[in-house]
Structure 1
Amino acid sequence: MAPRIMSCFGKPLRSSSTKSSKNDVAATADAAMEEQRRGDGPILVELFSSQGCKISPEAELLISRLGRGDFNLDRPIIVLGFHVDYWDYMGWKDPFGSSQWTVRQKAYVESLQLDTMFTPQIVVQGGAQCVGNEEDNLLSSIASAPRFPSPNFQATFQKPTPETLQVSLSGQLRMKIDHQGANIMVALYENGLMTDCPKGENKGRVLSNDFVVRRLEKLCTIKDTSAKKNISGTVNFSLWESFSSNKCGVVVFVQQSTSHHIFGSQKFDINV
């Protein structure tokens, strides 16, 4: 069955502040970590968009400016862009769209108790959302987002084959993880993407995209872990033909298993 989708011009029908039994679980986890909320780590901002959505280019520009530091905020920001695939039927298949990113957005729609999926949508620290082209709401969500200590991972990069990037990570989360557990995720993103769009709602436009997630892998799942426990692991990314390390970066983030809240993130340049 096709996903229930709102027009990309629409807004969520119910606020993400709606309370439910699912959110009670998340609230319990948050309360246990309240003392660690005073960390100085980055805020993770995720954009869900599509080249097939007429107003997504506005959100893409906003997120590019945010990632470049144009807003001179008093806290570091990490930006990731996920291109969903459910607008492909409009006549233009987004070359960066993936059903994997659609599934990720759907998980947020459920955890935030929204009534529908829509683009462009921004999710801040996994726990708040707004329409992706609403600058004031975005900046307000960032200002009120909880902050956690940034992990102190060290990263090494290798290319065992021309088609593979290997990322090895070792360090501490600097964040206690309780029995509910968390996933340590590793994203490979690309900047400076330009696409001529001959069809669909953006027909005739040249679309610019930054911080586009090309690959996402799980390093490991952890629970009942102290903030000082050393964690290490390796992920392997399959590369695309035009891959250039100068245009790409890697983001590591810790995501709570039930609430989907982000409990810390860290960004790396690729030196290979």
Structure 2
Amino acid sequence: MARGFFSCMGRGSSQERAAAMADAAAEENQRGDAVLVELFSSQGCATSPEAEILVSRLGRGDFELGFPVIVLVYHVDYWDYTGWKDPFGSSSSTVRQKAYVEALRLDTLLTPQVIIQGRAHCVGTDQEAMLSAITSAPRFMAPTFQAAFQRPSPDSLQVTLSSATKNKIDEQEANVMVALYENGLVTDCSNGENKGRVLANDYVVRKLENLCSAKEISAKKTMLGGVNFPLWEGFNSNKCGLVIFIENNAHQIICSQSLALPENL
């Protein structure tokens, strides 16, 4: 299990440079107005591969939307009964999807399903509905995090995050989440509904951790925290990235940011 730590520090002289760097980065890349798109998918579902291709294109910027879109793909485990166990499926992904079903007052789980900013949903293969929901989704400016990466051991990754906040986050019942995802996954599917197909998956969430709660975030502070991710066999930082997002108690996304991992970490 990943372990996290978090603290808030006033802008004393020892923290001014870190705060200035975070502020400069925010002004430079303005990534705080991104829309977070989450796909719930499974290699055991016949229509999920089509949705995976669509959101991969979305993540690459194939659609000219005029603002950044951040993509995360969660592989659920409730399709494993069909005869193919999704190697990236997990019960935690299923639990997250069930939380959205409850929050959005939906009747049931469906796959593939896309959730936009935690506020709207559509079938993952419906390009028109997805793009419409994305363009109409609310967007919010976010704290811009700076990240430092270390490998304390061959099977762990330590990520230290800092961000200078200009305003207090109003959502008291909110959490800062950190997702580690992987691109370029290729699987020969030998059973189930996709038997005989070669499946390509991008933006697959390998680990999702809670950095801290918004109760700990106040204005004019430098946030400092970190998580230790246990790594999987074959981990390659060149294929991975990090997404930081803040969600309220209803799982509505307040803001999100994407960060690249250093090459050959």
**Helix, strand or coil for the counterpart of 2:44?**
coil
- 1:37-186 superposed matches below 5 A: 41-173=33-165, 176-178=168-170, 180-186=172-178
| 2:203 corresponds to | 211
* Amino acid of the structure 2 residue aligned with 1:83: H
Post-superposition Cα deviations, 1:122-141, rounded to whole Å, max 9, x if no partner, equal: 00011111100000000000
Cα pair distance change 1:175/1:133, threshold 3 Å = farther
Give the TM-score taking structure 2 as reference length.
Answer: 0.85
Post-superposition Cα deviations, 1:87-114, rounded to whole Å, max 9, x if no partner, equal: 0000100000000000000000000000
Aligned length: 233
Contact 2:32 2:142 in 1 (8 A): yes
**Helix, strand or coil for the counterpart of 2:114?**
strand
Compute the displacement of 1:180 (Å).
3.5
Compute the displacement of 1:178 (Å).
3.0
Post-superposition Cα deviations, 1:240-270, rounded to whole Å, max 9, x if no partner, equal: 111000000001000112x111111111111
Cα pair distance change 1:227/1:117, threshold 3 Å = farther
Contact 1:148 1:175 in 2 (8 A): no
Contact 1:52 1:87 in 2 (8 A): yes
- CA–CA separation in structure 1 for the residues paired with 2:132 and 2:108: 23
Post-superposition Cα deviations, 1:215-253, rounded to whole Å, max 9, x if no partner, equal: 011111122744543211110101111100000000100
Q: Report the identity percentage.
A: 63
Matched, 1:187 2:164: no
Which runs of at least 4 in structure 1 moved beyond 6 Å after TM superposition?
A: none
| 1:7 corresponds to | none
Cα pair distance change 1:256/1:84, threshold 3 Å = same
- RMSD of the alignment, in Å? 1.5
**Helix, strand or coil for the counterpart of 1:137?**
helix
Contact 1:149 1:174 in 2 (8 A): no
Taking CA–CA contacts closer than 8 Å with sequence separation of 6 or more, which of the two structures ends up with the larger relative contact order?
2
Contact 1:175 1:263 in 2 (8 A): no
| 2:256 corresponds to | 265
Cα pair distance change 1:83/1:173, threshold 3 Å = farther
- CA–CA separation in structure 1 for the residues paired with 2:138 and 2:166: 15
Give the TM-score taking structure 1 as reference length.
Answer: 0.83
Contact 1:48 1:120 in 2 (8 A): yes
**Helix, strand or coil for the counterpart of 1:142?**
helix
- CA–CA separation in structure 2 for the residues paired with 1:64 and 1:243: 20
Unaligned runs of 5+ in 2: 1-30
Unaligned runs of 5+ in 1: 1-38
- CA–CA separation in structure 2 for the residues paired with 1:175 and 1:255: 16
Cα pair distance change 1:45/1:202, threshold 3 Å = same
- CA–CA separation in structure 1 for the residues paired with 2:256 and 2:165: 9
| 2:191 corresponds to | 199
Cα pair distance change 1:179/1:72, threshold 3 Å = closer
